[in-house]
Structure 1
Amino acid sequence: MSPLRLPRELASGNAVLKVLGALLLLAAVGLVALTENGLLAYRQAAQRHGGDVLDLGRQSGPEAGQHGFMVRVAGPLQVVAPPRDDEFNQSGATPVLTRRVEMFQWREIIVGGQPTYELDWVDHAVDTQQFMHPAGHANPLKLPLEGHRFDASDVQVSGFKLSPALMHALPGAGQLVPDGAALPPNLAASFSVNGNYLTTSEHPDSPRLGDLRVSWDTVPLQEVTIVGRLDGDTLVPATDATDGKGYEVQVGDRPVLDLFPDLPVPPEAVMPRRGAALLLGALGVLALLWTRRQHVSDVLLPLGISALVIGSVAGAMWLGGSSGVSLRWFGVALLGLALAAWPLWRRHGFGLNADKH
């Protein structure tokens, strides 16, 4: 007998289906490769700043399962327990209160190799022995008071506490108006309020050598965006970040890509793209195997082969990038293998069992 020949139109149709199936399968692999490559590039860049960032926005406080992640939060600064300078009995609604102590002293200015001398406020003792002409320009040897920084014990943004490192990075500057009535008696005898300063000058507009003035710098209460690692309910720097900071603090409500401009734009709609890749792959395999379909359950074969191919490609791409993501994709591949094996086992396994009977 001569071999059975398919009609020309049928053979041509099968060829078109095979080409279409191959193109769909290639498109599926390309789509998942582009998606995972974009995620990999984003994650590798994010590792320089401590890792992937959970964008919590204005979420009110941490939730279970977020510990250890880098998070972004935004909102106004809230000082729950303000800082206090106990020595001067001064306090203010600010995350950080910094005492600045200055003395009216001689300082040397050299212009064109020639020194000139003037009295000015300086926040450290100026050693006149280093002057070109120290005679007649003697300064006190040291400041009788020292500057100091006082941190609030509880500062929050949207219910997340800030660690001291993040508080010290808060931008902006202001000055505290000192409360003269709150001064302890021993200091009230020496200091008086002059604008934003406490001074020992008898005539504040005409200070004399050795006079002191004390002021306090503050951080304004404003809306900020914070990125840091969540440790319990507190945002701290990521110590393993290779950028040397492990956090970011900026004024206003700023998106992650504005905070870290070196980050590539991650792919959008990741899960729909992954699902589309699996579906395209299944349609491609179905077209390739169209002439071999025999049972409605054979639809599992294209789905399984698609999952096997897509899962294997994506899992291999994530090797070295993230073992967790890689294992999940290889799990998809194993599930695909099981789905693909079922119709084959049903067809051939059941057939063997039927032959035995």
Structure 2
Amino acid sequence: MKHTGMALGARLAGAVLLLAGLGLIAWNERRVMDYAAALARHGAPVLDLGAGGRPSAGQYGSLTRVSGMPQIVEAPRDAEFNVHANAPILIRHVEMFQWREITVGGATHYELDWVDRPVDASDFAKPAGHVNPGAFPIQGRQFEAGEVKLGNFKLSEPILRAFPGRVTVPPDEKALPPNLAATFQRSDDALVTSSKPAHPRLGDLRITWEAVPVQAMTVLARIDGDTLVPATSGGDAGAGFDVQVGERSLLDVLPALPEPPQAVLALRFASFLLAALGAWLLAYTSRLQRDVLFAIGIGAVVVPAVAGVMWLASDAMSASVWLLFAVLGAGLAIWRVQQRTHPA
């Protein structure tokens, strides 16, 4: 009687565990399928390559997230002034000391100040005595690095120009070409034509440089070979791409994306273990009792079979893989039955 009770309890526990394994795999695959469907509703899938992704066949045209510290392969250089920076972008600012017209409360007055564009004094209310020199002899310019890589991808110029932040780049007065060294002198972090930098005169020039700092970045853009470029259509990326400072997750960059399910592989393995343990207990009173390989085979049949049937309607490839595991599991279980029934 005691043995019969133990056998009945083992079978009952086995049935419960087997059903739990099947329920777990069904719930797990359903949430994976729901996530895939949500991604399809969102639009084209986004490759989350992070810092380690590499260009490969089949990626062309895909939107991707790449992050990491930019690598300056070919630094920008202002050859005219021999100023360079290890940065994605170098910017030259040119200002001239000019008259400005200021009107406050109906009262107009004039003052000299640094301005980054020519000021046309002919538009002044009182141009006499406030005439400005006119066009700048030297223009402001922006210099992009010849090549910048993020991870293993090159970055196109539109993406580089969107990098945020500015840091001052002090010029090296000793590196100036002779013709400019005779005209300019350094004052703090600028080059000026003033003989007395503290007291500039009308028409004096002041030139400064800024660079985009090298810092950890996250870029969302389209893959074009080994280069990240703006997407042809903006979509959720706005201007066709997005640039953010720091290591940002895909959900940070595209908050509209559905959140991916967690622990998918762990739950698949747990469902298999539950089903295999249930099969082992169900065989408690048969000639296959304590046959671990038989229990593994049964677990490998029922769990992949349920998952495979669920995937048939939406993804034939995934369904085929699952059903292949079910066939292999069936082969193992049948082999163990034959071994126990007809021992050598």
TM-score (ref. length: structure 2): 0.70
From 293, 318, 333, give the equivalent of 1:329. 318
Shift in Å at residue 142 of structure 1? 2.2
User: What's 1:226 paired with?
Assistant: 218
Establish whether residue 307 from structure 1 lines up as the match of residue 307 from structure 2.
no
In 2, are the aligned partners of 1:170 and 1:219 still within 8 Å (CA)? yes
Task: Pick which of 24-33 and 256-265 moved more.
Answer: 256-265
Match of 1:273 in 2: 267
2:34 paired with 1:37: yes
Q: Take 1:23 and 1:80, find their aligned partners in 2: how far apart are those partners?
A: 56
Amino acid at match of 1:309: V
**d(CA) in 2 for partners of 1:146 and 1:24?**
72
SS in 1 for 2:209: strand
CA deviation vs aligned residue, 1:22-53 (integer Å, no higher than 9, x gap): 66544432222234434655x569868x7131
- Give the residue type in structure 1 aligned to 2:31: L
Residue by residue over 1:34-87, the C-alpha shift from the partner in whole angstroms, topping out at 9 and shown as x without a partner, is 34434655x569868x71312335x8xx47669556353424x54343222122
| Cα distance per residue 1:3-40 (max 9 Å; x no partner) | xxxxxxx9999999878766654443222223443465
- Contact 1:257 1:265 survives alignment (8 Å): no
Per the TM alignment, residue 300 of structure 1 is displaced from its structure 2 partner at its CA by 6.3
- Equivalent residue number for residue 74 of structure 1: 68
Structure 2 residue aligned with 1:91: 84
Gaps of 5+ in 1: 1-9, 320-325, 347-357
Amino acid aligned to 1:248 = V
Structure 2: how far apart are the matches of 1:255 and 1:178? 34
Distance 1:94 1:13 in 2: 69
Q: Number of paired residues?
A: 321
Structure 2: 5+ residue runs without aligned partners? 1-6, 336-344
- Where 1:52 maps in the other structure, the secondary structure is strand
- Paired with 1:193 and 1:298, the residues of 2 have a C-alpha distance of 82
CA distance in 2, matches of 1:269, 1:298: 24
For 2:316, the aligned partner's letter is: L
Equivalent AA in structure 2 for residue 328 of structure 1: M
CA 1:302 to 1:89, structure 2 compared with 1: closer, same or farther past 3 Å?
closer
Show the 5 A alignment for 1:148-163.
148-157=141-150, 161-163=154-156
| Contact residue 48 and residue 250 of structure 2 kept, 8 A | no
Using structure 1 for the length normalisation, give the TM-score. 0.68
1:92-131 correspondence to structure 2 within 5 Å: 92-131=85-124
Which residue number in structure 2 is paired with residue 350 of structure 1? none
**CA offsets per residue over residues 152-184 of structure 1, 9 Å max, x none?**
223345665443334333333222222233333
Q: Cα gap change, 1:47/1:281 in structure 2, threshold over 3 Å: closer, same or farther?
A: farther
**Aligned-partner residue type, residue 327 of structure 1:** A
CA contact 2:121–2:130 (8 Å) conserved in 1: yes
Q: Residues 282 and 302 of structure 1 are in contact (CA less than 8 Å); yes or no, is this contact kept in structure 2?
A: yes
Distance in 2 of aligned mates of 1:258 and 1:26? 29
Amino acid at match of 2:317: R
> Relative to structure 1, is the Cα distance of residues 111 and 36 closer, same or farther in structure 2, using a 3 angstrom cutoff?
farther
Q: Distance in 2 between matches of 1:136 and 1:127?
A: 13
The one-letter amino acid paired with 1:192 is: Q
> What is aligned with 1:250?
245
Task: Say if 1:81 and 1:155, in contact at 8 Å, map to a contact too.
Answer: yes
